[in-house]
C-alpha cells in the first residue's frame, strides 16, 4: 500500500492563521513522526509527501519516504487537489490512499481496511469517519463525512467522475484518538502527550 500525504504550508497559513508556529510544528515534528510510524509497518510500501516544502532532508533517514516538491494551488477544492495528486505523484498505484498530516493518529489498520475494499473492487472509494457503515450507495451521504481525515479511491473511478468519494463507498469507523486533528497551537500539548505515551497505532 502506497500512502500519499499532501501538505501545503501556504494553505495552512491562509486557512488557520496561526503564523509560522503551526507550520513549524507540523513540518519539524508531526510529519517526521508520521512518516516514521507508517514506514515501520510492513503493509506500507511507500509514504509520499507532496508539499510546497522540500522534505528531502527532513525524511532522509526513511527508506520508504518519497518526496515530491510541488505546491498545490491554495484555491483548489478537495477534488481539484486529488486531481493534482494523481498528476504529480511518483507512485503509480491504481488506488490512492490519501492521508492528512493534520490527523496524525490515524492507524495503518484503518487505512489498510479502506485500501483492501477499494483494491478488491468491492467499492470504488472509502473514507474514515466516527460511525462504521458499509457500501453506502447514496452520493448525498458523502456530505456527512469529513473527507479531510483520509480517503481512499480508485484512480480510474476518479478520472471518470472527478470526485474522490463516489458510490458505492465504504465508511471505516475510527477510534477517538484517530479523530484528533491539529488546527492550532493549543493542540501541540495533546499531540506531545499522545506521542510521549508511546501509543503508536
Q: Is residue 119 assigned to a domain? A: yes
How far apart CA 33 and CA 126 sit, in angstroms, is: 25
Q: Is residue 36 assigned to a domain? A: yes
Banded model confidence at residue 185, pLDDT cuts 50, 70, 90: confident
Q: Is residue 137 assigned to a domain? A: yes
Mean pLDDT of 107-133: 89
Q: Structural domain of residue 106, as residue ranges?
A: 2-196
At 146 the pLDDT is 64
pLDDT at 145 over 70: no
CATH of the domain at 188: 3.90.550.10
- CA separation (Å) from 75 to 14, 72, 172? 10, 9, 29
Q: Is residue 115 assigned to a domain? A: yes
At 199 the pLDDT is 61
Mean pLDDT of 84-103: 94
94 exposure class (CB count in 10 Å sphere: 0-12, 13-18, 19+): exposed
pLDDT at 16 over 90: no
Q: Is residue 186 assigned to a domain? A: yes
Mean pLDDT of 142-163: 82
Q: Is residue 201 assigned to a domain? A: no
Q: Is residue 21 assigned to a domain? A: yes
Look at the chain and report how many structural domains it folds into: 1
Cβ(114)–Cβ(126) below 8 Å: yes
- Please compute Rg for the chain using Cα positions: 16
- CA separation (Å) from 83 to 31, 44, 153? 23, 23, 12
How far apart CA 166 and CA 131 sit, in angstroms, is: 18
Torsion of CA 190, 193, 195, 201, to 10 degrees: -80
Q: Is residue 81 assigned to a domain? A: yes
Q: Please provide the average confidence, as pLDDT, over all residues in the chain.
A: 87
Amino acid at each position: 500500500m502506497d500512502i500519499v500525504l499532501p501538505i501545503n504550508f501556504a494553505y495552512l497559513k491562509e486557512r488557520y492563521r496561526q503564523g509560522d508556529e503551526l507550520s513549524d510544528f507540523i513540518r519539524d515534528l508531526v510529519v517526521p513522526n508520521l512518516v516514521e510510524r507508517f514506514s515501520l509497518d510492513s503493509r506500507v510500501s511507500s509514504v509520499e509527501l507532496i508539499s510546497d516544502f522540500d522534505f528531502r532532508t527532513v525524511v532522509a533517514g526513511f527508506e520508504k519516504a518519497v518526496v515530491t516538491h510541488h505546491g498545490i494551488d491554495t484555491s483548489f477544492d478537495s477534488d481539484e487537489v486529488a486531481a493534482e495528486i494523481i498528476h504529480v505523484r511518483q507512485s503509480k498505484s491504481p488506488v490512492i490512499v490519501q492521508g492528512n498530516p493534520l490527523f496524525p493518529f490515524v492507524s495503518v489498520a484503518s487505512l489498510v481496511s479502506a485500501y483492501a475494499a477499494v483494491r478488491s473492487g468491492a467499492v470504488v472509494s472509502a473514507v474514515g469517519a466516527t460511525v462504521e457503515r458499509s457500501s453506502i450507495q447514496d452520493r448525498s451521504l458523502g456530505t456527512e463525512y469529513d473527507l479531510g481525515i483520509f480517503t481512499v479511491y480508485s484512480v480510474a473511478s476518479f478520472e471518470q467522475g472527478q470526485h474522490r468519494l463516489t458510490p458505492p463507498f465504504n465508511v471505516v469507523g475510527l477510534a477517538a484518538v484517530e479523530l484528533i486533528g491539529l488546527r492550532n497551537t493549543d493542540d501541540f500539548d495533546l499531540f506531545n502527550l499522545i506521542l510521549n505515551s508511546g501509543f503508536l497505532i
